[in-house]
Chain A
Amino acid sequence: MLIRQSNFAEHKPWIMACLVITLLSTFWFMFASFGQAAWPSGSSLPGFTFGVLGGLICLFEFLIWPRKKLRSWRIGKVSTWMRAHIWLGLLAVPLLVLHTGFRWGGPLSTTLMILFLAVIASGVWGLVLQQFLPEKLLIEVPAETIYSQIDYVSQLMANEASQMVRFACGINTTEHEASESNGTHRVVGAVRTVGAVQGRVIMTSTLKESIPDSKALWEFFNEHIYGFLKNGQMAKSPLENPSRCTSMFNSLRTKLPPRAHEIASALEELCTQRRQIILQSKIQFWLYSWLWVHLPLSVALILLMFVHIFVAMKYW
């Protein structure tokens, strides 16, 4: 969720509420500790209250997971949920620190606090990343695709390029490729299923007639392009470097008849797209990998929190 000057007004009430509750809680805690031998513990009235509030916030925070899974339920706007998730999560920090009375306690309570702090830290890290990575994605990856489709799209791109080059170079197409063309058009697009109907023809592009003396194109395609389009970074291709890529394609054009330059440009464009997809893949890794910490630790935190509540009540 972006927090910008433009949408700060939407966050301001949450921020103010968090600050006010934090200040009031701190005043109450200090007042309760006045005249006491030690900081109020979690079993004191203020400590217990902060613990209950903090626990309820943790539960609410955790509910965003099922909320995301059950988008069709429409229990409030997702943006409101996210704002509440962010600011209430941050409010839980002072509340639960006051609940501890500035003590780590034993193994369970220490584990709980470490888990809680790790969850909060990973959440803050995720929030920070979300402030600039989506923008970077928008600017630097115009060919952005759906993350889960990257492998599939890459394979399609490689196949389309292969079809184009074989036809241009007059090389027989494979059986699989032949099924995807009718001699004059190539098929572009994924296999799609709607109910019982499965098809693929969404868009076609006209295939040119074969071009003589374009053997260099076929060799260049096999040596560099196909692997790069299909496997991306794994291919360790020099085409991953934009300037190198331009240089290599310029060099290729000098070896090709002018009629084949259009094919070379199309291939160069596919390589550019592939590079963007590689960058997208990297960005999206950083954009979502913090959840590897945030969510799993939250699961453990919630489970152990219930144990803590029971034990604290039993051995008050």
Chain B
Amino acid sequence: MAFQESGKQRASRIQLDYYKRPTWLDRTKSRLAFLCLILAAGWMLLVYAQGSKGQVAFSRGQVTKFHAAWNDNCSVCHADFEPISKNSFSMKWLGHEAGKNLLGDARCESCHVAPVHHSNQKLESTPSCGGCHREHRGIDASIVRLSSLDCVSCHSNILPHMNDSAPKYATTISSFENASGGHPNFKLLAEKMTDPGSVKFNHKLHLTPGISRDPKGKPWTFADIPEPDRERFGFKPGSDLKAAMALDCNSCHNLESADAKPSLGTFNNMTKAAFGIKSQGGIYQPIVFDVHCKSCHPLSFDDSNKNLSVPHRYQPEEIRVYLEGVYSRQLVAETKDFAKTRTAVSVPVPGKNPLTPLVESVKKQVDEKVSVAMNNLFLGKKTCGECHYEKGDMKSLSPGFSKIPKAIQTGLDPDNKAFDWFKDSKLTNTPSDIWPSIPTLWMPHAKFDHTAHRFMDCASCHAGANNSVTKNDILLPGIDNCRTCHSSAKVSSDKVSLGMMQGGVNHDCVECHSYHHGDQPYQGVGSEAWDPKILRTIEQMQKTLP
């Protein structure tokens, strides 16, 4: 090519001050940078202008639905420049003493009062509310469904976290999964305790069709119980009344009190517990004589009138007074002379009661009838003595009473080894209550939901009930029974289910335990501590401040 321009020629076209002239690429970059700066600063200004409502921009995530009303108000829970968890390394760094009570905790506790986990735990080992109940994990997240690691961080070696006294519980628990995890068997079973209740009961007999000790003896039939109660115990209308009754667990153990109607003639002095406690179905209702026993075991005292019965939960002297009233009323009504004398004697002679002979006669008859009735009730194996002990005589193995007892044993046996285990249980501990004489909850430091297990055969866990002949048996399943399902999924090596998958059901600590014991208020431990100290209006609640 004839014409070839050199680099020098090309360079001569460049202005010397070219570097002072930005390109459109540079200009666009600068404009976009300025725009981004304005947008970022504008966002922050908008947040600032919105006040507390704008703080939601700084939230690290939506709070759970229970706290959603305060999602955009950080200061409801957070104290400025103070960690939400006192286990944070920044405590010292931000100028706070290790283990001190945080203002943030006080803000939680202004609504949520909760008992201490254990009176023996060290303050510095006690996490702050936010240390375990981690918020900002989404509206549907649970802040109480904690990982076992939260518990195991102390319980894998509990001694350094306790004050000086000796531990009452296992000191090294790392998991529930298997025995090597350190979780002991349930205490009542591990220490081979016996039922501290004061009611005799033969499960085997009651689960035997016909409810008869003698297989060839007369079976107990539906005809032997009042007609209104038959259906409740399994009678189907139109079927044979002479058929032997066959009880099952549900005949007496009911999840809801409403399911079990009291028998006819139940007296009004029943405690509210018979009807009042409406659980969510997780806990079986207490066995109540008037509901579960009376149909077959009426407290009849008069052979001439089987419909007459004494009320349950009366002590012998109270029964005597009751019987005197019943017979007095009956005899006064039946003695016509009382009515005649009143009309014949118009002017009573001072110092002389014309009715005295008659009264004395009735009184004598009443005493005789009461005596017979008391013997019917208390002597022999039937009625009272069939189930109850004389007070202070819990060791007696003989059924029934040989004489009329001064008092019936109520409540749990204080001499029983298991008594201490249940003493915190509210229903068995209130001095004014004379009942129940059977523990309502057998594992007061844990929770168990029977409703969640309602698809299972009772005997798969409570197999011992079929052969239990004494009240002393504690019919709880052992921990290994639970671990069959509540453990990691594994292939069974059991002969029956060889090769099948087993386990896999939740087996973390909070499945059974609660740190504050608050979800089982029956149990007593901490139940009163859950009562709020301050009651608020709706407005006060919504702008909660300490």
Contact = CB atoms under 8 A, between A and B. Distances in A.
A124 interface: no
B149 interface: yes
Interface string A252-289: 00000000011101101110010000000000110011
B410 to A, nearest CB: 46
Interface residues of A, number: 62
A143 interface: yes
A139 interface: no
B16 to A, nearest CB: 5
A288 B25 contact: yes
Contacts of B61: 103-106
A51 to B, nearest CB: 12
A316 B136 contact: no
A266 B2 contact: yes
A35 B153 contact: yes
A63 interface: no
Specify the main secondary structure of chain A where it touches its partner.
helix
B33 interface: yes
Contacts of A73: none
Given A148-B22, A152-B15, A316-B82, A106 B60 contact: yes
A19 interface: no
A215 to B, nearest CB: 21
Interface string B253-278: 00000000000000000000000000
Interface string A29-43: 000000111100001
Interface string B53-72: 00011111110000000000
Given A146-B14, A315-B58, A37 B39 contact: no
Interface residues of B, number: 57
Contacts of B336: none
Interface in A150-193: 152-153, 156-157, 188-193
Contacts of A315: 58, 74, 78, 80, 84
A193 B20 CA distance: 13
A107 interface: yes
A161 to B, nearest CB: 11
Contact of A105 (B10, B60, B74, B84): B60
A296 B134 contact: no
Contacts of A311: 58
A307 B13 CA distance: 49
Contacts of B147: 37-38
B40 A304 contact: yes
B58 A149 contact: no
B506 to A, nearest CB: 15
B134 A38 contact: yes
A266 B16 CA distance: 26
Interface stretch (B88-96, B339-347, B391-399, B525-533): B88-96
A278 to B, nearest CB: 15
A314 B59 contact: no
Interface in A25-66: 35-38, 43-45, 48
A190 B60 contact: no
A55 to B, nearest CB: 16
A20 interface: no
Contacts of A133: none
A247 interface: no
A109 B12 CA distance: 53
A299 B40 contact: yes
Interface string B74-102: 10001011111000111000100000000
B165 interface: no
A147 B149 contact: no
B25 A35 contact: no
Nearest to A272: B1
A203 B8 CA distance: 9
A46 to B, nearest CB: 10
Contact of A269 (B5, B17, B146): B5
Contacts of A273: 5, 10
A300 B40 CA distance: 6
Nearest to B147: A37
A75 interface: no
Contacts of A284: 25
Contacts of B150: 37
B84 A192 contact: no
Interface string A124-157: 0000000000000000000101111100110011
Nearest to A65: B33
B15 A190 contact: yes
Given A37-B150, A291-B29, A296-B29, A149 B18 contact: yes
A152 B4 CA distance: 21
Interface in A183-223: 188-194, 202-203
B9 interface: yes
B56 to A, nearest CB: 7
Given A148-B22, A300-B37, A313 B3 contact: no
Q: Which of B58, B136, B147, B149 has the most CB of A within 10 A?
A: B58
Contacts of A303: 37, 40-41, 44
Interface string B141-153: 0000011011011
Contact of B36 (A45, A193, A300): A300
Contacts of A299: 33, 36-37, 40
A307 B134 CA distance: 23
A107 B47 CA distance: 11
Contacts of A316: 78, 81-84, 88, 90, 94
24 contacts: A106-B58, A107-B56, A107-B59, A108-B57, A148-B23, A153-B10, A188-B9, A189-B13, A190-B13, A191-B15, A203-B9, A261-B2, A265-B1, A265-B2, A285-B25, A288-B29, A295-B32, A297-B36, A299-B33, A300-B39, A304-B44, A315-B80, A316-B81, A316-B88
Given A44-B88, A153-B14, A202-B12, 20 more contacts: A37-B146, A37-B150, A105-B60, A106-B56, A106-B59, A106-B136, A107-B57, A147-B23, A148-B21, A148-B23, A149-B14, A152-B15, A153-B10, A193-B17, A292-B29, A303-B41, A311-B58, A315-B58, A315-B84, A316-B84
List of 3 A-B pairs having minimum Cβ-Cβ separation, nearest first: A266-B3, A37-B147, A189-B12
